[in-house]
Amino acid sequence: MKISDVVLTEVTGEFPADELQAAERGSRPLDVYPEFRGTRTFEPSHAPDEKVRQSDVYLEVHTDEGVTGLFGPVDGGHAIILRREIRDFLIGRDPLAIEKTWDLLLRRNRHARSSYYMMAMSALDCALWDLKGKALGQPVYRLLGGPVQEPVRAYASMLGFSLEPEALAERAAEYKQLGYWAQKWFFRHGPPDGDEGAAENVEVARTLRQAVGDDIALMFDAFNSWDVPYAIDVARRIAPYRPGWLEEPVPVDRIEGLRRIRERSGIPIATGEHLYTRWQVKQILDAGAADVIQADPDWCGGISELVKIAALCSAYDVPVCPHGHSLHAALHVAAALPHSVLPQVEFLILHQRHKQRFMKGFLEPESGVIQPPETPGLGIEIDPAKVQSRRAVE
């Protein structure tokens, strides 16, 4: 079997507006500049009876024997690299030799170790695992050695929900009743908002703990938007509410800052969704800068690399909880590893409906757990009934 083509296809369709829409955004690094802070809340972007037009790009690897591998949606930046830099190099190669392909691409380009090139490699790697599963008639998690966890625990990632106290408490209680054992919320304020903003962040933690009681894990995300003194101060003030972790208080390349926050804050620190490859993860582990690593198979190097990162982290007794840019790839890896190594995946409540819009079915947790697909490959399949038009991305 040989790779005959690598195809990027943009699919477009119209869908009913989501009943749930983003009402608030979290803090962002650009908030240090007043002109970028904007408003803290959003008005509904679509009326309930309105149709929403959406386009997504999917990657498909074709072979001379008719077996294909599918992955997506993929973002525009690395879609260009897949088309211009990687496609021609792959034609004629063995699609089942995934490890060799990964190593060849890493060695071929000196800029391959991070950013959009590694994200392009990640999408390709996931598509090749999907192809391998289809060729062998097995779901990917079985090819990886699973099932080990079946089903897999998932936490509710609450990006976009309102942080107004009454709405916050109601939404948190609702998702507890739906069976989610853990929730992650996104702080709105950072250093530019001063003491008042810090106090509001603390109030968010207090309100949530009061709303869900002591038996639900609560995590908090600062999205790379804080500095070390601010992070230490706020972390100490929310510590009584027993956060499961504080995520990305500073950018991941500020390793010394992460280590200081972890040592002085008294709460666990999570980071890693913006790390690429096991070598960058090792720098964080060697520095003792994180309690949880959040490598994302869409970005860190694909399924192949996430498995290696998990093995590396297990040697340091640091769990991996993959970031939830998408769901299928991380879910298959989780199903193939022990709970002690990869205890949970992230499910972005609002955003997964957009991510899976063109797919057959909807993969989501029930009572806080997800059953991995039993179909060969990753279980990603585009539903023709949802596609109004498609075009090749050149």
Write down the pLDDT at residue 65.
98
Q: Is residue 289 part of a domain?
A: yes
Task: Give the CA count within 13 Å in the CB-facing half-sphere of 44.
Answer: 11
The per-residue pLDDT for range 329-371, each reduced to its tens digit, is 999 999 999 999 999 999 999 999 999 999 999 999 999 999 9
- Domain ends where: 137, 155, 172? 137
Q: CA–CA separation, 94 vs 97, rounded Å?
A: 6
Work out the average pLDDT over 49-61.
92
| Domain closes at, from 137, 158, 185 | 137
Together in a domain, 265 and 179: yes
CATH of the domain at 232: 3.20.20.120
What's the average model confidence in pLDDT over 134-145? Answer: 98
- The verdict on 174 and 307 lying in the same domain is yes
Within this chain, do residues 196 and 119 fall inside the same structural domain, yes or no? no
Q: State phi, psi for 10 to the nearest 5 degrees.
A: -95, 125
Cβ pair 249, 274 in contact under 8 A: no
What pLDDT, on a 0 to 100 scale, did the predictor assign at position 50? 84
Domain assignment of residue 99, yes or no: yes
Residue with the larger pLDDT of the pair 101 and 22: 101
350 in a domain, yes or no? yes
pLDDT band at 49 (very low <50, low <70, confident <90, very high): confident
| Contact call for residues 171 and 349 (beta carbons, < 8 A) | no
The tokens of 207 are what?
A: 């309100």
Which residue among 89, 106, 137 closes a domain?
Answer: 137
Residue 390 lies in a domain: no
Q: How confident is residue 45, by pLDDT bands cut at 50, 70 and 90?
A: low
Judge if 374 and 283 occupy the same domain.
Answer: yes
Name the residue among 110, 119, 295 with its Cα closest to residue 284. Answer: 295
Per-residue confidence (pLDDT) for residue 36, from 0 to 100: 87
Flag whether pLDDT at 47 surpasses 90: no
Number of folded domains that form the chain: 2
Q: What is the pLDDT of residues 191-220, one digit of tens each?
A: 999 999 999 999 999 999 999 999 999 999
Mean pLDDT across 43-71: 89
- Region 92-116 average pLDDT: 95
Radius of gyration of the chain (CA): 21
Q: Is residue 133 domain-shared with residue 148, that is, in the same domain?
A: no
Q: Which of 16-30, 111-125, 206-220 has the lowest mean pLDDT?
A: 16-30
**pLDDT score, position 341:** 98
Whether residue 332 is contained in a domain is answered as: yes
Residue 159 domain boundaries: 142-382
285 located within any domain:
yes
Same domain, 179 and 113: no
**Same domain for 112 and 175:** no
Q: How confident is the model over 26-52, as a mean pLDDT?
A: 79
Same domain, 203 and 321: yes
Is the same domain home to 300 and 161?
A: yes
Contact (Cβ atoms closer than 8 angstroms) between residue 156 and residue 347? yes
pLDDT at 261: 98
Inform me whether the pLDDT recorded for 19 exceeds 80: no
**Is 126 in the same domain as 271?**
no
pLDDT digits (tens, 9 = 90+) for 379-388: 999 999 999 9
The answer to whether residue 394 is domain-embedded is: no
Overall average pLDDT of the 22-38 stretch:
88
The answer as to whether 392 is a domain residue is no
Average pLDDT over residues 157-185: 97
Asked whether residue 102 carries a pLDDT value surpassing 90, the answer given is: yes
Of 153, 160, 206, nearest to 180 (Cα)? 153
Contact predicate 343/140, CB 8 Å: no
Confidence of residue 40 (pLDDT cuts 50, 70, 90): low
What pLDDT score does 387 carry? 98
Are 129 and 152 part of one and the same domain?
no
Q: What is the mean pLDDT of the chain?
A: 95
Predicted confidence band of residue 46 (pLDDT cuts 50, 70, 90):
low
Residue % of the chain over a pLDDT of 70: 97
Query: Which CATH number characterizes residue 70's domain?
Result: 3.30.390.10
Residues 246, 174 share a domain: yes
